[in-house]
């Protein structure tokens, strides 16, 4: 009897282990394949960026439509971005909504934490959404904020009922104050964004201060993820006040997320590239293009468009990403695409400028993770004056970058070629 019972127990244990292993494999497989169907066919050059059809298409496909009357101010590096954000927070009277991927303990966290706590004590509604994976705040600071009335939520923190979503991160970088002033761009809340990119410990990045009717679209992007994370809805005049025109710019904010329009980011990039006739300037903190993007960029260069791409050089936080990126440069370089590696420090800028009239900025990287897996939000601006101002900044960065030629790429050692190829196999997750 004991022998039979032991066999039954052993059989049951093996069955349980098989079930657990199968469940873990299923969760891992689902997470690694997270995302909607992506575009795998070429988009032909049908109309130019300057053609009204381009803006009409972007408004209809990406949504919401473009809205006029806005002003957008570029903030270069943390030296300009953090004071502007803190000034807006300290002036808040109704609401503060903040969503960010990285919020790390340090001087920046303490300064922002103190400002948010003070406003919460003053009766301002303060709602913070941080990514569970990117968040590294001290528990003491979180406790102080929550005791003051700040609502702090972690996006997709692991729960037994949500393990299938643990690879889906919010990468959005949004700050909206009183529903009237918004910020987005590449800057997260950590000390490495402080200063003015003066050394390898301080990153090069650009953020943007936004006013005008398009701020409501920025707020809607936050509210969407707040609802996903908490089940609660933020609405009313406190968050969505009447917004009068304040400037000359026409703009839109659009979002992407798995299961809810993840193809929007890919569409934006591919449609923009296919509509280019003169120039494409791309600042890409993490540049790991898929086959469709490589083909689109190469085709643009071959039809006479000058394509310039700035990526990080040796100062990069994920060398694995740099290797995966470099493996894919051959076809681009042969087509005439110009690739430059920024030299002084980590280059974290995320910007696309097409034909000196179309500019897209925000949280998205030019990689498959941003396109298919992360939650992202971008601001698109259709304006020649704003475009020219961003081209000037792009050219300043270009002057501090080293061009990589086809000869350089071909001269890589066999060791580097092998490591680059291996890293590229993980491209869909980078």
| C-alpha–C-alpha distance, residues 413 and 410, integer Å | 9
| Partners of 183 in beta bridges | 175, 209
Whether 420 is catalytic is no
> Can you give 285-310 as a three-state secondary structure string?
CCEECCHHHHHHHHHHHHCCCEEEEE
Among residues 50, 173, 180, 202, the one annotated as catalytic is 173
Among residues 50, 156, 165, 171, the one annotated as catalytic is 171
User: What's the full length of the chain, in residues?
Assistant: 430
Among residues 131, 156, 165, 178, the one annotated as catalytic is 178
Q: Quickly count: other Cβ atoms within 10 Å of residue 98's Cβ.
A: 24
> Among 128, 87, 86, 137, which Cα is nearest to 109's?
137
- The Cβ-side half-sphere exposure at 185, using a 13 Å CA radius, reads 26
| C-alpha–C-alpha distance, residues 194 and 192, integer Å | 5
With a CB cutoff of 8 Å and minimum separation 6, the contacts of 261 are: 36, 255
- The Cβ-side half-sphere exposure at 272, using a 13 Å CA radius, reads 28
> In a 10 Å sphere around its CB, with 0-12 CB exposed, 13-18 middle and 19+ buried, how is residue 415 labelled?
exposed
Among residues 299, 350, 383, 420, the one annotated as catalytic is 350
Whether 171 is catalytic is yes
Tokens at 51, concatenated: 């053609």
| C-alpha–C-alpha distance, residues 430 and 423, integer Å | 9
Whether 180 is catalytic is no
| Phi, psi angle pair for 331, to nearest 5° | -60, -35
62: left (phi over 0), alpha (psi -120 to 50) or beta: alpha
| C-alpha–C-alpha distance, residues 47 and 274, integer Å | 8
Whether 173 is catalytic is yes
Among residues 188, 224, 355, 420, the one annotated as catalytic is 355
Whether 355 is catalytic is yes
Q: Known catalytic residues?
A: 171, 173, 178, 348, 350, 355
């Amino acid at each position: 009897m004991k022998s039979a019972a032991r066999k039954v127990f052993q059989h049951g244990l093996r069955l349980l282990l098989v079930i657990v292993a199968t469940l873990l494999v299923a969760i891992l497989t689902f997470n690694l394949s997270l995302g909607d169907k992506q575009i795998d066919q070429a988009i032909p050059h049908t109309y130019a960026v300057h053609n009204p059809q381009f803006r009409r298409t972007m408004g209809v496909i990406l949504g919401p439509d473009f809205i006029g009357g806005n002003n957008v101010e570029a903030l270069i590096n943390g030296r300009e971005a953090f004071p502007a954000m803190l000034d807006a927070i300290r002036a808040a009277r109704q609401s503060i909504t903040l969503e960010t991927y990285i919020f790390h303990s340090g001087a920046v966290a303490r300064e922002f934490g103190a400002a948010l706590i003070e406003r919460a004590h003053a009766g301002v509604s303060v709602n913070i959404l941080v990514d569970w994976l990117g968040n590294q705040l001290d528990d003491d600071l979180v406790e102080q904020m929550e005791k003051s009335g700040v609502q702090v939520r972690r996006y997709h923190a692991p729960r037994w009922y949500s393990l299938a979503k643990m690879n889906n991160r919010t990468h959005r970088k949004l700050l909206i104050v009183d529903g009237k002033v918004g910020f987005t761009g590449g800057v997260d809340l950590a000390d490495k964004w402080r200063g003015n990119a003066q050394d390898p410990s301080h990153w090069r990045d650009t953020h943007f201060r936004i006013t005008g009717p398009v701020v409501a679209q920025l707020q809607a992007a936050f509210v969407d993820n707040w609802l996903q994370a908490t089940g609660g809805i933020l609405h009313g005049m406190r968050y969505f006040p009447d917004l009068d025109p304040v400037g000359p710019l026409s703009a839109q904010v659009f979002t992407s997320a798995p299961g809810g329009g993840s193809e929007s980011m890919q569409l934006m990039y591919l449609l923009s590239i296919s509509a280019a006739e003169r120039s494409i300037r791309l600042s890409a903190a993490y540049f790991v293009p898929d086959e469709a993007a490589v083909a689109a960029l190469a085709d643009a260069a071959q039809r006479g468009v000058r394509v310039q791409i700035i990526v990080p050089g040796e100062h990069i936080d994920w060398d694995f990403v740099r290797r995966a990126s470099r493996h894919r440069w051959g076809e681009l370089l042969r087509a005439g695409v110009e690739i430059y590696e920024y030299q002084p420090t980590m280059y974290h800028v995320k910007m696309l400028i097409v034909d000196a009239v179309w500019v897209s900025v925000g949280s998205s990287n030019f990689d498959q993770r941003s396109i298919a897996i992360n939650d992202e939000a971008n601001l698109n601006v259709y304006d020649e004056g704003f475009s020219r101002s961003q081209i000037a900044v792009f050219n300043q960065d270009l002057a501090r970058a080293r061009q990589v030629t086809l000869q350089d790429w071909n001269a890589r050692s066999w060791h580097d070629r092998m490591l680059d190829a291996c890293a590229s196999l993980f491209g869909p997750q980078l």
